[in-house]
Amino acid sequence: MTRVLVIGGGQNSEHEVSLASAAAVTAALREVGHDVRGVTISREGVWDAAPDAGKAGPLAAAMPLLAWAEVVFPAVHGAPGEDGALAALCALAGVRVVGSGLRASALGMDKHATKLVAAAAGIATARGRVVAASDIGDVEFGGPVVVKPVSAGSSYGVSLVRREEELLDALRTAASFDRRVLIEEVVRGREIDVAVLRESGGVRWAAPPLEIHASGLFDTAMKYDGTARFSVPAALSSAETSALTRAAMTMFDALGCAGVARMDFFLTEQGPVLNEVNTMPGLTAQSQVPRMFAAADVAYPELVDRLVRAAVVPGAGS
């Protein structure tokens, strides 16, 4: 039995999604026998362990909780949290944490930085550019594009722009989530996710790929309103599966990920094109990552148990 602190919530648009992940993780870890406590970070950044502690409340409340825990499970999606903020806190406290460390989390959260790492690793991404929120009025329309915040998850602020008159609104929407906006060419291909898990012994492996069936953009509404349709394992040739798995493992290693990470690809006629990386993906039993590992005969409670067993104290370079 391990003392596990599960952290949910957060100060971002993914707050409710994070609460669902945290609740599911808590229940599963208790099912397999761990001693679990939970804490929620409000949208204002206050930890519910000390709601009246003033401005110092968030950090002050964390200290006794971190001292109690043997492992921290940060089920927080988005920033601050998934961007490495919680991993850094655990590193300073010397506490083992589930998932990637500061560097990998920060790089994975930043979609532009992820593209630069992918290019260096020889993995294709959509051609695109970053503009500052203050410059969105000067952007010219050059054909269909996808507009997204550089650092946001769950497809919040993402728009598919087909006509020139739609561009400014899409840019404004993305800029409401981040001061930097990524504009990418549209990639035509099947949407395939690959999840990579690093076990406690250091061995990492990829679960069977999952295909997302969506007409148009796989946006926030479709992700959470129950209309999304998934196939797992995806109907792929052995060569396609190998190419996707190889690209996912390469990105996992290039970023320095730990725990579990989900790599989202477009499978085109030229091969896999990386869309983005999630270092703390959704973790309800019905989320994409647990679905993929279930297809590999790893049940949800076993998956989160493996993540706890693989937790390490984040190092200075992690």
Is residue 282 annotated as a catalytic residue, yes or no? yes
Question: Does residue 52 lie in a domain region?
Answer: yes
Domain count of the chain? 3
Is residue 276 annotated as a catalytic residue, yes or no? yes
The predicted model gives 255-260 an average pLDDT of 96
Q: Which residues contact 165 (CB under 8 A, 6 or more apart)?
A: none
Is residue 135 annotated as a catalytic residue, yes or no? no
Residue 44 sits in a domain whose CATH number is 3.40.50.20
Q: Are residues 120 and 133 in the same domain?
A: no
Q: Are residues 161 and 248 in the same domain?
A: no
Give the model's pLDDT for residue 14. 85
Is residue 14 annotated as a catalytic residue, yes or no? yes
Q: Are residues 40 and 22 in the same domain?
A: yes
Give the DSSP H or E segment for 276: strand 271-278
**Residue of 78, 264, 287, 291 marked active site:** 264
Is residue 110 annotated as a catalytic residue, yes or no? no
Give the model's pLDDT for residue 316. 44
Contact 195, 206 (CB under 8 A): yes
Is the pLDDT at 83 greater than 50? The verdict is yes
Q: Are residues 49 and 176 in the same domain?
A: no
**Residue of 8, 9, 12, 14 marked active site:** 14
Separation of CA 285 from chain center: 16
Q: Are residues 278 and 297 in the same domain?
A: yes
Lowest mean pLDDT among 14-18, 150-154, 183-187, 281-285: 150-154
**Residue of 82, 83, 110, 276 marked active site:** 276
- Secondary structure (DSSP) of 187-209: --SEEEEEEEEE-TTS-EEEPPP
**Residue of 103, 198, 204, 262 marked active site:** 262
Is residue 224 annotated as a catalytic residue, yes or no? yes
Structure tokens at 67: 């001292």
The predicted model gives 76-105 an average pLDDT of 92
The predicted model gives 206-233 an average pLDDT of 74
**Alpha-carbon distance 157 to 206, whole Å?**
29
**Residue of 278, 287, 300, 306 marked active site:** 278
Domain that holds residue 27: 3-99
**Residue of 282, 300, 305, 306 marked active site:** 282
Contact 181, 150 (CB under 8 A): yes
